[in-house]
Amino acid sequence: MGEKLICNNKKAYHEYFIEEKLEAGMVLQGTEVKSLRAGTVNLTDAFMLIRDGEALLNNLHIAPYDFGNRQNHQPDRQRKLLLHRKEITRLYGKVREQGYSIIPLRLYFKDGLVKVEIGLAKGKKLYDKREDLKKRDTQREISQTLKARNRG
């Protein structure tokens, strides 16, 4: 069946160095899944917390389902992530000791189930961001000159 991308967090790659990626499931309500299928989600400011041995996703905004009734979900509620206990304790140790953050990178359907790809990330300094922009600009210029040569 494959994967169908719902939402991507482009800002995460600009703001953080991504050290490691993990896939996690999410506990959702029925109208949330319908809203995700419609693509009404914002992943930009979301982050993961570990509290009482549970992984929780905060600030993930899933808009209320348009055709929902009074049973509709709250858009900004905390959502529990489904990870193995060993993974949660390892991530918790990294966040506590080494100053890492855990952020969601993308949200997608995999075989009919909603999955979130989380990344163990370390924040970039301003000069790192400038360096990345310079590299991207030079790569763009190189590719444009190569295209121009191939045409002429």
Q: Is residue 133 part of a domain?
A: no
Report H helices in the chain: 10-15, 30-38, 85-98, 126-151
Distance in Å from the first CA to the final CA of the chain? 44
Q: Is residue 34 part of a domain?
A: yes
**Distance of alpha carbon 40 from alpha carbon 69, whole angstroms:** 17
The predicted pLDDT at position 24 comes to: 96
Q: Is residue 90 part of a domain?
A: yes
Q: What is the pLDDT along the chain (152 residues), one digit of tens a residue?
A: 688 999 999 889 888 999 999 999 999 987 888 888 888 899 988 999 999 999 999 999 988 887 777 777 778 889 999 999 999 999 999 999 887 999 999 999 999 899 999 999 998 888 888 888 899 999 999 999 988 888 86
The predicted pLDDT at position 1 comes to: 65
Q: Is residue 142 part of a domain?
A: no
Task: Count Cβ atoms within 10 A of the Cβ of residue 82 and give its class: 0-12 exposed, 13-18 middle, 19 or more buried.
Answer: middle
Range of the domain at 114: 3-124
Q: Is residue 20 part of a domain?
A: yes
Q: Is residue 22 part of a domain?
A: yes
Q: What is the CATH number of the domain that holds 67?
A: 2.40.280.10
pTM for the model: 0.80
Q: What does the DSSP 8-state code read for residue 71? A: T
Closest listed residue to residue 42, CA positions, set 61, 15, 17, 18: 61
SS3 74: coil
Classify strands 113-123 and 16-26 as parallel, antiparallel or unpaired: antiparallel
Q: Is residue 150 part of a domain?
A: no
**Distance of alpha carbon 22 from alpha carbon 43, whole angstroms:** 16
The predicted pLDDT at position 85 comes to: 95
Residue with tokens 């905060």: 58
Q: How many domains does the chain have?
A: 1
Q: Is residue 71 part of a domain?
A: yes
